[in-house]
Structures are given as structure tokens and as C-alpha cells.
Chains A and B, each alone.
Chain A
């Protein structure tokens, strides 16, 4: 992931904004009783990562439990982002899967290419923005959860330094970092945010090293946007608190894991499989958050004082009630104006976010 892909994504979004919206079109006919629908998944990490891929696999198990013998599922794990993903997707399509979930941002072009070759197979791509008649995208508003975590982080830090382990500087991660910082600053004006980019979604040793590097800088609260539980294990060894990412990571309760952002894909997966079964599936792009139940806030443990817990839950409830974590006035890092008083960004703007907000001193790698 580099600046070129970011620019390309911005350009693609601008282009999409100019085009008239795609009419929702139902595809295909219902699948008769007695005929099995095969559903395939590709994961970027192992299902045992305890985070992102694990959570998608819970979604897969949920559709199996829900639809029973009407469907059959399979998955390929540890699929690298890039060209190899196309091979894995083709393999699933050739194996007779009629609905395929590709669950990482970097599978985007591979999904589009494979979808063009298999027009009768329906694809669902997580966190991407490129769509086609047989490619839908779905995403979760992780930044809403970050606002809650940021509030806890800002109130809990004693050194006034919060650390963030980023994967790649893509919009999804930028939103999370900005939302964390905005809400930490709101409750603690002295808070500073340090960012380390790991350039991987899953590499436990590197994630642990990144956590060590942050701790050595005096950070005492760490958030992560990578998939393993290694940073929490490091916090447990060396002290400090952190949060479950993508999954509850309950093994690290009550501390270092004091709360969590939980991605709940199950309702969406059940809905979409059901639509393929009854022939009403159509391509779309959805982005669901806390109020839809797709982003969950894991239990806030007793390691957090009552007033912090109260404040965090208030933020959660405000978001469910319609508060937007990015509400102006907000400036960009260079001081230029972004949102005016009371203004909120459009989803398109958020989906191409490539800047830090004012107050963050870290640099975005170029």
C-alpha cells in the first residue's frame, strides 16, 4: 500500500461520485430446496489469529449454523494480498462456490479480476470500494469504536502518551487513528499520540516489537490496527493497557485488555447468504456501525474506574444516537480547515481519508 494506491483510490472515488448511482439489480433466481449453495471465504491471516480473520470465520460458522444443510462452506486462510489472492479466488470459483467472501482490503483488484471471469459467481469484498454487478462491498465503521477506545485511552494514560500500531496507511486505518486522537484529546488536552507502522496485517513478532518500541518511548496505552494478540501479550509482560482489536480478545481480561472493538459480521453474512438463496442478492456497498450492531464494544473491565467507564459508554450511546465521531470544527494536520463547526464529512470523503487531523505530530509515510 503506498501513495499511488491512495491517489488511485481518491481518483476512483471522485469518478464514482460523478456517475449516477448504480441501480440495484436483483441477480439470478432462487436456489431450489435440496440444492446446496456453496459459499467460499478467503482470509488474509490464519483463522487462529484471535482477531480479524478469526472474527470472519465466526461469521462463516454462523451461516453454517443458520442455514444447516442448505449450504456448504469452505475457506482458504493465509492468502497473501496481491496476485496470489486471484489464484485462491479462482480456485474457490472453480470448486463451485457461488458466493465468495474476500475479507481483506488488499484483495480488491484480485476480486474485480476474478469476478470478471466468473459472472455467475457473486463476490463480497470487505473494506474495499470497487464494485461490479457481481461484486458487492461491505465495511464496518471501526472509527466509531475507536472514539470509545480513544476516550478510555485519554482518561487512563498517566504519561499522556498513547501509542497506535498501524498496519498500512490506508483510509480505514487513518480514520481509526484520527478518531482515537480526537476523542482522547477531548478528555485530556495534554495527550500525545505516537504512531508506528508495521506494514503487515499479521506478524506477531513484529507487532510485539512495535509494542516494545512504543513502551520504550514512555507510552502506557496502546491501540492496534493489526490482527494478532501479540501487542496485548507484550503489555501483559511489561505493563500498560490495550484493547481487543476486531475480536474481544477476552483471554487478556481484565487487564491489559480493558475493552475491545468487536467486528460482528454474522448478521450481514446471514442476510447476504439468505438473499442468494432466495434470488434477491444485488450488488451494493454498505457501511454499518455501532447502531447497526456490526461494531460492538467489548465489556469494559473493572481495571477501568467507574467514571471512565461511564464516559466511554456515553460516547458509545451518543454514536448510536446519531453523533458523528468526525464533527467539526476540525483542522487537518497542516492547520488547514477541514470541517466547519457542526459539519460532518460525507462517506466518500471518509473512504478516501489520507491525512492526520491537527494535533497529531506523527508523520504519514510517503
Chain B
């Protein structure tokens, strides 16, 4: 019963949150807490769908989704990095802005069909492969390259990074844009590959799950993959078990990812207490940076 089709469904359900959570992890590692993931995803979903519909090419859709996600994230970037607005409030505003904006511009696309998504190796479409490939790539860039080290340095202690001559605001702006682009791809995946149409509010909270997964993952790309598969997997598995007529307590299964999150958080804090290791969260996360201080 838990065969290849189920695994395929699982990977497909996990892909949008994988993209969005990876992007958010990058932004947070640079010290920026962007709560606008849902807004960036829905923007990517609409822009991606519109482009795919106009050109007939899903690839163009994903590119447009990434561009739109990055563009809307830069509004957040400029507001928080240059005008020093509160990151939490600005992020929430970005979500509401994205939902409202797409509801308005999405009207002409209601009831319109998407071009079909080409299959890839092993019947898995290439967007899923791309998501999987980005996990080791993100890990490598963050942990094994100079650019990654700078990004993490900015996130851990922006004053020190600034004193060393690194452009804190520029690094963060780039990280925000990458996060926005990836959330946009995640959103485009929902409209182009999962639902195959545009519907207002269609991401239905996936952005918030992505935010939770970043914490669950301890800000590590591999943890993000595990989290996305756990959350996506449980969602799909319970639907599959129901369809197969297996009597499973649906509520218990739906609860599982959240229980796992609590367990992981307890383990993380216990590790801090007994091994004296610092929190996994970047030191400057969510703190505004101003060079004169």
C-alpha cells in the first residue's frame, strides 16, 4: 500500500513547503525573520500560473513565480533593512498584502486551465528533482563556501560582520530575495503542478507550515527536508489510508507532525542545557541593524 505512488504523492505534497522553507532558512540564517512566506507563495502561485497560461510553458511559470516572489520580498527587504521597520509586523503585512493583491489581480484567471506538467525521470516531475537537489546545494553553500560563511556571520552577529567590513544590509537583501524567489517557486508549484488552476487563497496556510518547519529543522537544510517530508508525508499518508479504507484515527495522524515538533524542540533545549551548546537560532535573528550603533 505504501508503494511508489504514495511516495510520489508524498514528495509532491512536500515540494511547495520544501522550497518555501529552504528559502526562509536562508533568510533566517542571515538574521532576517520574514513572516511573509504565505504572501510570497501566493504571489508566486498567481504570477507562475499567469505566465504558464500565457506561454503554455510550465518552466516559464516557475521562472515568473520566482521573479514575483523575489520582487514582493524586496518590498519587505527595503522596509526592514533601509527604513528599519519591525520585521514581525512587516512580514505579517507582506502576507496580507500578497493575499489581497493576488485576489484582485487573480480574477481573470479563475476557471482557466494550466498547461500540463511534463513528467521527468521515474515519473517524478523536474520541479520535485530541483527541490531535492537544492537541499545539498544549500547546505554546501551555507557551510562550505566563503559566501555562506559571510551570510552566516551576518546572521550570528551583524555588528561584528559590519566591523569586519561586510555589507550587512546588502547580504540580507540578497538573502531575502533568494527566500522570496524560493517561496515564489513553492507557490507556483501549488498552482501549476498540484492544483492545476488559480484559486484565490489557494496556498491555504502552506507558508505558515514552512515557517514552522524552519524552526523544527534547527535552521539546517537537511532538517528542512525531513520536516517537509514529515508534514507533507503525514498529510498524504492519512488521505491514502482513508482512500484504502483502513480505519486510522485521522486526528492522531494529523497531530503527529506537531507532536514531533514539540519533541524536537524539547531535545534542542535539553541539548543546550546539558551540553552547554548554544541555541540553533542565528544570534541576530529578527534584530534590526543600524550601522551607527
Does A297 have its Cβ within 8 Å of any Cβ on chain B?
no
**Which of the residues B194, B195, B199, B236 comes within 8 Å of A48, measured between beta carbons?**
B199
With known contacts A202-B204, A203-B204, A209–B245 Cβ distance under 8 A: no
Beyond A209-B12, A213-B240, A213-B242, 5 additional pairs, beta carbon < 8 A: A48-B110, A197-B250, A209-B194, A230-B196, A365-B251
Q: Specify which chain A residues have a CB less than 8 angstroms from the CB of B107 in the assembled complex.
A: 48
Nearest CB of A to B107, in Å: 7
CB-based nearest A residue for B191: A204
- In the complex, the answer to whether B235 meets A209 with C-beta atoms within 8 Å is yes
Nearest CB of A to B142, in Å: 29
Does A212 have its Cβ within 8 Å of any Cβ on chain B?
yes
| A-facing residues in B232-267 (Cβ within 8 Å) | 235-236, 239-240, 242-245, 247, 249-251, 254
Does A318 have its Cβ within 8 Å of any Cβ on chain B?
no
Does A217 have its Cβ within 8 Å of any Cβ on chain B?
yes
- Convert A37-66 into 0s and 1s, putting 1 for each residue whose CB lies closer than 8 angstroms to a CB of B: 000000001111110000000000000000
Nearest CB of B to A116, in Å: 31
**Which of the residues A47, A196, A205, A363 comes within 8 Å of B195, measured between beta carbons?**
A205
With known contacts A209-B9, A361-B245, A365-B249, A49–B200 Cβ distance under 8 A: yes
Does B226 have its Cβ within 8 Å of any Cβ on chain A?
no
Q: Specify which chain B residues have a CB less than 8 angstroms from the CB of A234 in the assembled complex.
A: 195-196
- In the complex, the answer to whether B113 meets A48 with C-beta atoms within 8 Å is no
**Which of the residues A46, A199, A207 comes within 8 Å of B103, measured between beta carbons?**
A46
- In the complex, the answer to whether A216 meets B9 with C-beta atoms within 8 Å is yes
* Number of A-B contacts defined by CB within 8 Å: 117
Does A78 have its Cβ within 8 Å of any Cβ on chain B?
yes
- In the complex, the answer to whether A206 meets B240 with C-beta atoms within 8 Å is no
Does A245 have its Cβ within 8 Å of any Cβ on chain B?
no
Does A149 have its Cβ within 8 Å of any Cβ on chain B?
no
Nearest CB of B to A217, in Å: 5
- In the complex, the answer to whether A216 meets B190 with C-beta atoms within 8 Å is no
- In the complex, the answer to whether A205 meets B190 with C-beta atoms within 8 Å is yes
- In the complex, the answer to whether A194 meets B243 with C-beta atoms within 8 Å is yes
Q: Specify which chain B residues have a CB less than 8 angstroms from the CB of A366 in the assembled complex.
A: 249
Q: Specify which chain B residues have a CB less than 8 angstroms from the CB of A108 in the assembled complex.
A: none
| B-facing residues in A170-224 (Cβ within 8 Å) | 194-200, 202-210, 212-214, 216-217, 219
**Which of the residues A196, A199, A206 comes within 8 Å of B204, measured between beta carbons?**
A206
**Which of the residues A200, A228, A362, A363 comes within 8 Å of B199, measured between beta carbons?**
A228
A363 to B249, CA, bound (A): 10
Q: Specify which chain A residues have a CB less than 8 angstroms from the CB of B254 in the assembled complex.
A: 199
- In the complex, the answer to whether B195 meets A233 with C-beta atoms within 8 Å is yes
With known contacts A50-B111, A213-B240, A233–B196 Cβ distance under 8 A: yes
**Which of the residues A50, A78, A216 comes within 8 Å of B110, measured between beta carbons?**
A50
Nearest CB of A to B130, in Å: 19
| A-facing residues in B184-223 (Cβ within 8 Å) | 190, 194-197, 199-206
Q: Specify which chain B residues have a CB less than 8 angstroms from the CB of A48 in the assembled complex.
A: 103, 106-107, 110, 199-200
A75 to B236, CA, bound (A): 34
Does A12 have its Cβ within 8 Å of any Cβ on chain B?
no
Nearest first, the 5 A-B pairs at minimum CB distance are: A251-B111, A46-B200, A48-B200, A213-B239, A233-B196
With known contacts A196-B239, A234-B196, A229–B111 Cβ distance under 8 A: yes
Q: Specify which chain A residues have a CB less than 8 angstroms from the CB of B197 in the assembled complex.
A: 204, 229-230, 233
CB-based nearest B residue for A366: B249
Nearest CB of A to B104, in Å: 10
Residue pairs across A and B with Cβ atoms less than 8 A apart, 22 shown, are A47-B200, A48-B103, A48-B200, A50-B110, A204-B195, A204-B202, A205-B13, A206-B235, A208-B194, A208-B195, A209-B12, A210-B239, A212-B9, A213-B236, A213-B239, A216-B240, A230-B199, A233-B113, A234-B195, A236-B113, A236-B196, A251-B111
Q: Specify which chain A residues have a CB less than 8 angstroms from the CB of B206 in the assembled complex.
A: 205
Does A240 have its Cβ within 8 Å of any Cβ on chain B?
no
CB-based nearest B residue for A249: B111
Does A163 have its Cβ within 8 Å of any Cβ on chain B?
yes
